[in-house]
Chain A
């Protein structure tokens, strides 16, 4: 193992708790990750010794809080390889970040007759905002389908789907169901060639995969803190500076203004123009701390660990005749496996394995169009992170065998 997952587990207080009197086997990090002591302690220390509102106080405490907050922004910038902190906008999470693009850039740039491209594997958060946008503007939604074999994007169709009418392509870097890692740069080059833009949903990728927004040539990219050891309620929108400069504000209020009269106002510089109101200060500090934690482990080591455990789990699931969706090769996917057992419905599976302390997800994973494409109403899903071991996979397999027993 490239990471000492057993040692890492000790950083996560949740593993001191039990589930139904058994050791906790947490295999739902794709929904939300657990939090290390380092992040929890950082937030507590911030509240106890550094807390004040940001960008306001002349007093020392206000400066401390602002420094911690802006330090977190710098950590986010470094983490995704953005050229400047001016392109790092704090949001409530990926969903709000994508909606920000919908209500600002897209409203200004998308007109009747234009086309917006989504993929068949998108999470609802990178689909519904665009459905709403096309309903409002008269634009058309185009869908890049996936193949029926390993459920990858049909890149052979891309030159038809992305064309002169394309204004924006919305695509996830890593599927939250299939784990598929999508060829973002290739898609970005295609859409840029026709003068369009690309919105990358990196919520699933950011916790697991090192990437660089400049290398991806992403125009917009969003991720959330809570899936990557950070707190809930905080996420990031990255946008290319020249685009953000031209965009109108999102929410109006304090913090996002430069000068205000009763009948008009001018806007603050980036990134504050998009951060109306008091931000989630402690959550941002927590996210910064989570990034430092992940960087300490090494994103390449995290990826290597997840490939190993995913390969192991794919083999074990195959042994018990599970149906596995998505790419068969662990190198081509993130540490998330959607699967089914022919004899047990995913809900029954999840209830039964829960009794053994094993947390897996059952349902449509916020990707109903994808479920329809797979031909099932729901799947089970196991997802892995830095604290998972092969023992966790073994515990899941034993529990899954028990679930089969109920319906034999």
Chain B
């Protein structure tokens, strides 16, 4: 088995988002609120979206969980805040593909999210990293602002 160092998983940027999560808390008023958890490990997240037209004017998350789930959700809110619903969905789908090993991901565009690449070397933790993103996709579905691609 290939030895993977913990430094790849717990990158400084992940620890930073875990210690000082961005956009943490509840959003009021909001347009969509969605609560999801990882049934196997108990990570919980509640995501709040507020739209201005089709744009994600506000996003916040609340929840309890491991460093990976919480840091990933924190980075997600920073990344998609202000994007159109369709663009936010595109980012989320791209992160999901990256975590599944189907896509490399452009480091420049990913910014802080590059740090999630290390998580793919710890297969049991991928679910933790994806909790926020999966919840975002579902919340966007619920909003009706960014229909899933039909292709």
Check if A378 sits within 8 Å of B41, measured CB to CB: yes
Measured between alpha carbons, how far is A368 from B40 in the docked complex, in Å? 10
The verdict on B98 contacting chain A, using a C-beta distance below 8 Å, is no
Closest chain-B Cβ to A210's Cβ sits at a distance in Å of 33
> B9 and A347: CB pair below 8 A?
no
Interface digits, B39-82 against A, CB 8 Å rule (1 contact, 0 not)?
A: 01111100000000000000000001111110000000000000
Q: Could you tell me the distance in whole angstroms from the C-beta of B132 to the nearest C-beta in chain A?
A: 15
| Alpha-carbon separation in the docked complex, A163 to B82 (Å) | 59
Q: Per-residue CB proximity of A334-371 to B under 8 Å, as 1/0? A: 00000000000111100110010000001110001001
- A407 and B6 CA atoms in complex are apart in Å by 13
Question: Are B6 and A355 neighbours in the complex by a CB distance under 8 Å?
Answer: yes
Q: Across the interface, do B67 and A364 meet the contact criterion of CB distance under 8 Å?
A: no
Bound-complex Cα distance A10 to B67 (A):
38
- In the bound complex, what is the Cα–Cα distance between A361 and B69 (angstroms)? 18
CB of A20 closer than 8 Å to a CB of B: yes
Which of under 10, 10 to 19, 20 to 34, or 35 or more describes the interface residues of A?
10 to 19
Which residues of A are found within 8 Å of B10, using beta-carbon distances? 348, 406
Question: Interface size of B by Cβ–Cβ distance < 8 Å?
Answer: 24
Tell which of A351, A364, A368, A378 touches B9, judged by Cβ atoms closer than 8 Å: A351
A345–B128 Cα gap in the complex (Å)?
12
Alpha-carbon distance between A82 and B122 when the two chains are bound, in angstroms:
46
Set of chain A residues within 8 Å of B125, measured between Cβ atoms: 347, 351
In-complex Cβ contact of B122 among A346, A351, A376 (8 A): A351
- Would A352 and B3 count as touching, CB distance under 8 A? no
Which residues of A have CB within 8 Å of B40? 363-364
A residues at B contact (CB < 8 Å): 20-21, 345-348, 351-352, 355, 362-364, 368, 371, 376-378, 406-407
Question: Closest 6 interchain pairs by CB?
Answer: A377-B42, A347-B66, A378-B42, A345-B66, A363-B41, A364-B42
Q: List 10 A-B contacts (CB under 8 A).
A: A347-B69, A348-B10, A348-B68, A351-B124, A362-B41, A368-B42, A378-B41, A406-B6, A406-B10, A406-B15
Residues of chain B having any CB pair with chain A under 8 Å: 1, 3, 6, 9-10, 15, 18-19, 37, 40-44, 64-69, 122, 124-125, 128
